[in-house]
Structure 1
């Protein structure tokens, strides 16, 4: 067999081992052209394979989108439960404080009544029993204490009962929060698996679709030689690779432009600031210039924490707010940084990417696991603006994505979160404490 014939006998693509036999080789195509029946059978097989491959890719992507939305819904439920827990805890602390203050007031009255000259009967009622509950009963029963003391006792008892009831509610709320945190983590794992499957399906389509279409055209048109068809397949595969490379270059160019724009904006803002008054000092050697462009803010030699973005025009903090799209009052589980689409986003700390894909209302999202139950999330990333993938290790200050406007969003911005064991916390306060 000649070199060209040998090349025809080998598949042009690299398929998964379990599915390699499903795709015909160019040798199969050449043999099928020998008879009308075999040719028609091969045409039918290729037509079905092409349709199945396209459908599998679409189905996998739809499944990834659905899993991402379910993950975000699970996280929203967790945030709601965490908010309820925080509210109950705050109310419990308030009730306990009130009970403690009333207890002090009652104690002060008791101390006053215990002074020399007070009624012996009152002293007996107040101090004849050792248990606090029996002491309060004796206090309320004393006719000489008066209505005001009775009122204080009732208020103290009510506050104590309220604090105890709220403590029980807080315990239940914490259990529910933990349950939903576990559910959110499982939803994240399902979303990550679905996104990986979608990427695999897309890669398989890119490797095989052009080749099979060239094979199909060769079978349908006897004027095309096997060699011509083979070369068409080579071109199709090369074109697919070129498109992928062009998309990567476009992402890099967009990130570079956004970085340059951010640097220019920072320089303009610095120039607009009034000069600080000079003070006598010992001359020192000026620091060397790092050149143009934008870099991650103070990366801490690869081991510290840093802001996820260097320049932004507007900032909205973590906390409860009126949602601009859903029109209800809810927890804003992160911090928002308004910036031009494509502006570089940096890893706030070293870690491992646990998710990179669609996430419902947060659009395209990246989640980084930093260990010890701490994770960071970056939402609304622009289309094709994800530069990392699940399982990848990243360093602090690494450019992982670009600002976007995907999902439920009113403009280009970064939604940034820090979570402790799945529960959202104020990200900027957390970074400030590092």
Structure 2
């Protein structure tokens, strides 16, 4: 049954309110405070919900703040090996800054598609060691019209870029002392003796290949001249990428070699491959691949979001989700359901909910017996029951809309009194 009060509606199922139990002007009229069936208030329930959710909201807020900072903030320097903005020993900021002071425009890119698009005739493209490149990325880099400098490249890229004229033989040991260039390249003559790790060799029958700094077979540098759109272009492979790093650039003639290789043109495209990059080029030189359509910071944010999902899954894995209603495979008798709910109430100590259910059932029964409509308020029902039973109105209001019992004995006593009230109404 649903009954209305001056402040709201009382549902027959449960946990709602009381109001003034007697008619205005009645000698037995009393003003009872509004009490919920489970002995709580809206403000108290809201406070409990906030205490349960505040740590969750705090963690989500901190994670969202960190993701926002990672997405919009880009540090002045990085820690990426061989990057021109890395000031650590494994970076190449020193060489990049010197080239910039000499008038060379250094363009730092991390995607193959961007490197291929920027590396046109009359420019230099340097490819630093990185993750394993896709076959289409290798082909795209090998086909650029710019002079190509490969630092510590793998055998697949070296072969593709040099037209199978040069191959790489990994595993060579660094020389015991500095080695003379052993070639007639002006750049090598200016650099002089170096201690670079050798690992390159010319394939049998290859033409226009120059090897420098040989050490018992393999060489540290190999240069090949290939035809280009505006004439010959040069592909230079250096097996030891440390020649450009901040920690080794001042050793022997490394600085001279690095500046000579990378400063031959006014524009230098510096590619530090991103491990998450899958772009190469499409028709007409347009970028292709799913990652090519994403902003540069999408990979970092994606990894961070994945970490957040994993942490949240571990955090919430032991918690049960919301209840899901489903049809029972067998019919359960009403008496069993009632006893089961009663045991649950008793185990949880929820006397307020149990009392509210008993009162709602009694109110619905006596209202139907007395012909009180469902839209009637608490005062109308209380007056009707009082007239039918001869009880004082405040006694009836206390039974139907009083505060929750404080212990099991009080709950049992309330059930007994409600049963007596129903019997009196039925006898009237």
- Give the TM-score, by structure 2 length: 0.21
User: Does 1 or 2 have the higher relative contact order (CA < 8 Å, sep 6+)?
Assistant: 2
Which has the larger helix fraction? 1
- Give the TM-score, by structure 1 length: 0.20
Q: Which of the two has higher C-alpha Rg?
A: 2
